[in-house]
Amino acid sequence: MTSQTHRPHPSLDDPSISIEDVLRESIVDTVPVARTEREAEFYTLGDGELLLNMGPQHPSTHGVLRVVLKLDGERVVDIDPVLGYLHRGVEKLCENADWHQAICYTDPLEYVASLFCEWAPVMAFEKLADVQVPRRAEYIRVLTGELNRIASHALFMGWFALDLGGLTPILWSFIERDEMMDMLAAITGQKLLFNYYRIGGVNGDISHEFMSRLGDWMTRAGHQVEANTGLLNENEILVRRARGMGVLDKATALRMAVTGPNIRASGIPFDVRRAHPYSVYPELEFDIPTRQEGDSLARYLLRMDEIKQSLRIIDQCLHQMPDGPVMAKVPRLIRPRPGRSWAAVEGPRGMYGTYAISDGTDQPFRMRIHDPSFVHLQLVSLLTPGNLIADTMAIMASLDPVMGGVDK
């Protein structure tokens, strides 16, 4: 993928063009020909405004994201995110794989919480093929999913502090995250892209090693969470830089189709686990934490509250898990009858959805993947204007986008 603006300038060899022309043209060159109303508005510079390119290799953009900033001094006037540096065409690849193979393409979408990216397509395919999942498999899915949610939120805590200039929390959070990833690796066989859920169940029962490590970890997990959040929650630098930043109100959150912790931090208790229950969540007790402020600090604190609820869910799963098979009888090659299905799960960043269409063959006819990070990244150009460049990063970090999911 090449950018038109990064080529050597064609007129550098042409002696009839003066250096002033080249310089003037180079500045104009970075401004594309406006094709839409929004683009025309963004690339029309007012008095004293300038454009600054940030990324795609900027460390605080959490992946490969390029952002064009329109600045007035050090204040951000407007932002135009440029996507596509990680685009792999996952939807097209899935349409060219069979139903089972398509699941493994969805893992790398969200490399921080990849179990949720598998969960949505697996549920959609099960609906299409009318597969009944064994209850033990459902409990294992919830157990591993919540573990992955904690791992993701722990990493968020580190990232958020890192973008605000604190280096210690990410080292602390990686200790916990590594332990969780090792536990998941003990049953899934992989440490990052698990590829564990299957159409009709999960790939293998939970092992003795996993159970003993989880038991050990659960006894000290609550204390660890307290210790880690104690490092940050009362940190004056963090609180002062996050409070009142990037305030997202209720009406805007609905209008922007926001989901997950970001909408709950704005006071709307929308959680797919309760709003449209799936798996065995109706049998489990947990609260949906909400906050009214809608600022960066609320989004951070809400995720820390969710870790505690996830620990509650894991505890209940361990006590209620029934015996039995972990996999339904599903043939190696399935041909679901023609139809359409949509399934959504609540991930650590918001709602992951999959819309699948079957035409009766062994391959998906169309597979649409809905990723929350993609929707949430739109908020950046809404929440950041008026702030300093450094705070832009803090607001972006509090929305917790992962570029693998944004670019698909």
Residues making contact with another protein (CB under 8 A):
1-4, 10-11, 21, 25, 28-29, 32-33, 35-39, 83-84, 87, 89, 91-93, 95-96, 127, 254-258, 270, 275-276, 339-342, 344, 351, 353, 355, 357, 366, 368, 370, 374-375, 377-378, 407-408
Element (H, E) at 51: strand 49-54
Nearer to another protein, 72 or 91 (CB): 91
Whole-number minimum distance, CB 64 to another protein, in Å? 12
CA distance 158 to 171: 7
Whole-number minimum distance, CB 107 to another protein, in Å? 19
Would you say 350 and 268 are in contact if contact means Cβ atoms under 8 Å apart?
no
Instruction: Look at residue 68 and give its three-state secondary structure.
Output: strand
Whole-number minimum distance, CB 396 to another protein, in Å? 15
Could you please report the per-residue DSSP string of 296-349? HHHHHHHHHHHHHHHHHHHHHHHHHPPPS-SB----SS--PPSEEEEEEEE-SS
Nearer to another protein, 373 or 392 (CB): 373
Whole-number minimum distance, CB 100 to another protein, in Å? 18
Element (H, E) at 395: helix 389-399
Q: CA–CA distance from 389 to each of 159, 262, 394 (Å)? A: 17, 21, 9
Nearer to another protein, 128 or 184 (CB): 128
Nearer to another protein, 229 or 398 (CB): 398
Whole-number minimum distance, CB 83 to another protein, in Å? 6
Nearer to another protein, 196 or 352 (CB): 352
Whole-number minimum distance, CB 173 to another protein, in Å? 30
DSSP class of residue 277 equals -
CA 32 to chain centre: 30
Nearer to another protein, 3 or 207 (CB): 3
- In sign, the C-alpha dihedral spanning 225, 230, 234, 235 is negative
Instruction: Look at residue 3 and give its three-state secondary structure.
Output: coil
